[in-house]
Amino acid sequence: MTTLALNNVRPYGEDVTNILIDVTDGVIDAVGENPFDDADEVVDCGGNVLLPGLVDMHVHLREPGREDTETIATGSDAAAKGGFTAVFTMANTSPVIDQPFLAEAVWTKGQEYGKCDVYPVGSISQGLKGEQLTEIGLMSRSGVRMFSDDGKCVNDPQLMRRAIEYAKAHDVVLAQHAEDHRMTEGSVAHEGEQAARLGLRGWPRVAEESIVARDAIMTRDYGGRYHLCHASTEGTVELLRFAKNQGIDVTAEVTPHHLMLTDEKLATYDGLFRVNPPLREARDAEALKQALLDGNVDVVATDHAPHGSEDKCVEFEHAKPGMLGLETSLAVVHRIFVESGEADWRFVAKVMSERPAEILRLEDQGRPINVGEPANLVLVDPQSPWTAHGDEMASKASNTPYEDIEFSARVVGTWLRGTQTYDAKKA
């Protein structure tokens, strides 16, 4: 057995301890008061914070089809650098992930590269056309745990009803991108004062909320496990509260950008700030933050959406929607919740690792830092200032909305089943 000691760590930001990893089996072999100095490899972690590896329910790795903007390999690098050990990559690639062999190819590529477990999301409708359902049963048998037409909404209520019934029968998660497309035609920004001032066509809150309300009621009546992608409005938070209070099986995610940024950013007409759903107002961001704190929103997911500069450095209306997220999300969540004193590292572990793993029923992710558990871990230095720059990202793309923003928390190292997938010292 080959061993690795992570000495002088603070699991969940609490008391200092020492961890011994069995690298051969990829599990935590011992946790103890005294440093493990006899291990094959010994790392002094300087009292940094140790968390379970992060799990991102929502990324876009663009392979197959747009390998010029991101690949499973570069996306895995970005994930490892951001502290992630598992990501779920959406089906809106080219071709769309709507058949078992395509889903299997994504998983296999991720495993071959080995930096992060890359779980494929299967599409709900064939070709994301919103017409025919995919073979949810066949794909679930080849290991697909979540289905989504993300990028597009399953608008047709009859198709959604049947998707819910099939997803229930196969016990998989349905993830909805809630956007009534009839209400958002041509819109590029949140409908409100800012869009009016800038002369941009607006996407009203109701375009999201009406779908959330409908889906909650469908889930009440037809069952299944419903997950809402990128909740973005105060009203959505109220609807989630209503649904959860009724015992309806809905979960929801919020992105770091909907927590930290608002449509005030659009004043420069910089295409970097175009995203779906759009950046909203301060009261929406505040409601989402409170909802994450009180559990009405379950998890943080990045919606990491790489785009080339030819699609971002253009007039606002022509910019493609989407922002990078994997390499900045932990720093953003730390800034909003930990630095502000509103929550602790246990909370971060819950919303970025434990809850997503639970929702997707991953048995080897989001686990407690204990003997016998898989060594999926991230080491974080909470006081290591750094500044975000798009051109320094591990991602192939550089469309970060946090350009020139200084953060305090930095990922120092990431381990997947005991193997180091990111090392800040070597980066």
For the annotated binding site for Zn(2+), the residues are 58, 60, 150, 177, 230, 303
CB of 128 to ligand DOR, least distance (A): 10
- Continuous H helices in 304-349: 309-312, 329-333, 345-349
Q: Both tokens of residue 352?
A: 């970025």
Residue from 151, 224, 271, 366 in contact with ligand DOR (CB under 6 A)? 151
CB of 396 to Zn ion, least distance (A): 20
- CB 32 within 8 Å of CB 70: no
In the stretch 210-239, what mask flags binding to Zn ion with x, by CB under 5 A? Answer: -------------------x----------
Burial class (CB in 10 A: 0-12, 13-18, 19+), 400: buried
Asked if residue 177 binds Zn ion (CB under 5 A), the reply is: yes
In the stretch 52-71, what mask flags binding to ligand DOR with x, by CB under 6 A? Answer: --------x-----------
Amino acid of residue 175:
A
Question: Per the annotation, where are the binding residues?
Answer: 58, 60-62, 92, 150, 177, 230, 276, 303, 307, 321-322
Burial class (CB in 10 A: 0-12, 13-18, 19+), 408: middle
Asked if residue 276 binds ligand DOR (CB under 6 A), the reply is: yes
In the stretch 236-275, what mask flags binding to ligand DOR with x, by CB under 6 A? Answer: ---------------------------------------x
Rounded-to-integer distance, Cα 257 and Cα 280, Å: 10
Number of H helices, E strands in the chain: 13, 19
Which of the residues 294 through 323 are near ligand DOR (CB under 6 A)? 303, 305, 321-322
Q: Which residue's CB is nearer to ligand DOR, number 298 or number 303? A: 303
92 binds, among Zn ion, ligand DOR, none (CB under 5 to 8 A by kind): ligand DOR
275 binds, among Zn ion, ligand DOR, none (CB under 5 to 8 A by kind): ligand DOR
Rounded-to-integer distance, Cα 10 and Cα 17, Å: 6
280 binds, among Zn ion, ligand DOR, none (CB under 5 to 8 A by kind): none
Asked if residue 396 binds ligand DOR (CB under 6 A), the reply is: no
- b/e burial code for range 81-118 (CB count within 10 A of at least 16 → b): bbbbbbbbbbbbbeebbbbbebbbbbbebbeebebbbb
- CB 166 within 8 Å of CB 133: yes
Residue 90 sits at φ, ψ, to 5 deg, of -70, 160
CB of 427 to ligand DOR, least distance (A): 26
Rounded-to-integer distance, Cα 204 and Cα 191, Å: 5
Q: Which residue's CB is nearer to Zn ion, number 138 or number 206? A: 206
Asked if residue 75 binds ligand DOR (CB under 6 A), the reply is: no
Task: Spot the catalytic one: 29, 77, 117, 303.
Answer: 303
Q: For residue 413, give the DSSP letter.
A: E
Rounded-to-integer distance, Cα 261 and Cα 196, Å: 19
CB of 211 to ligand DOR, least distance (A): 13
Q: Which residue's CB is nearer to Zn ion, number 57 or number 172? A: 57
Q: For residue 125, give the DSSP letter.
A: B
CA atoms in the 13 A half-sphere facing the CB of 297: 32
CA atoms in the 13 A half-sphere facing the CB of 47: 4
Q: How many residues does the chain have?
A: 427
303 is catalytic: yes
Chain residues that interact with Zn ion, rule: CB under 5 A: 150, 177, 229
Chain residues that interact with ligand DOR, rule: CB under 6 A: 60, 92, 150-151, 177, 275-276, 303, 305, 321-322
Q: Which residues are catalytic?
A: 303
